[in-house]
Structure 1
């Protein structure tokens, strides 16, 4: 798959809420996932390797009590990179309802996502 095909499939699966399926289909075994520097205590950190990325996703899901709405933009392409904007309206266990917005940047090599990095406001 080329970068555009990977991007379109990732968007398709994420719009359905099938994030782990996207990782299973599209990510390299040695992929890395990078959060914002300075994320608050208790936030999920970086993950190295596909198993660690699955676990990071499971931990995030366990923190969510309810998803009220979510959206994923069309991808913006740049060579072997693409980005999407994601928004979520979620209720976290013990924290209440939160509106989240982030830019997600992905690097593709040999038809697989090898890096994802997230940018969002902290606070």
Structure 2
């Protein structure tokens, strides 16, 4: 698949709530970079297993009330996707609305890097 195909597939799977299935689009050597380090973790994780663990932490610690996905916006071997969430952080009970953009880089038909950017106040 080319970058546009991967971008469209990722967005469609996320819109359907099939984020776990989207991991098939990722390289085994994926690098995932958050804008800020999650509590007790690093900003950057490497490898598909580490990415899946990070995703599981998110699911385990957040009740998702609603989610929306916008995009993709492709440019060469990269594309951006927007995410909006209404979630409750389970440990604190705090309900928040989050907005983030993710920049994905594609090489050899797989996503090799994802970087997250958060709206101020998130």
**TM-score between both structures, scaled by the size of structure 2:** 0.90
SS in structure 1 at match of 2:88: strand
Report the CA distance between 1:41 and its aligned residue.
6.0
Cα distance 1:34–1:40, how it changes in 2: closer, same or farther (>3 A)?
A: closer
Segments of structure 1 that go 5 or more residues without pairing to the other structure are: none
1:42 corresponds to 2:39:
yes
- Alignment match, 1:17: 17
Aligned-CA RMSD value? 1.6
SS in structure 2 at match of 1:75: strand
- Alignment match, 2:79: 82
Cα distance 1:112–1:71, how it changes in 2: closer, same or farther (>3 A)?
A: same
Deviant stretches of 4+, over 3 Å: none
**For residues 3-56 of structure 1, what are the alpha-carbon distances to aligned partners after superposition, in whole Å with 9 as ceiling and x for unaligned?**
000000000111122222101x100000100011xx266175321000100000
Aligned length: 119
**TM-score between both structures, scaled by the size of structure 1:** 0.90
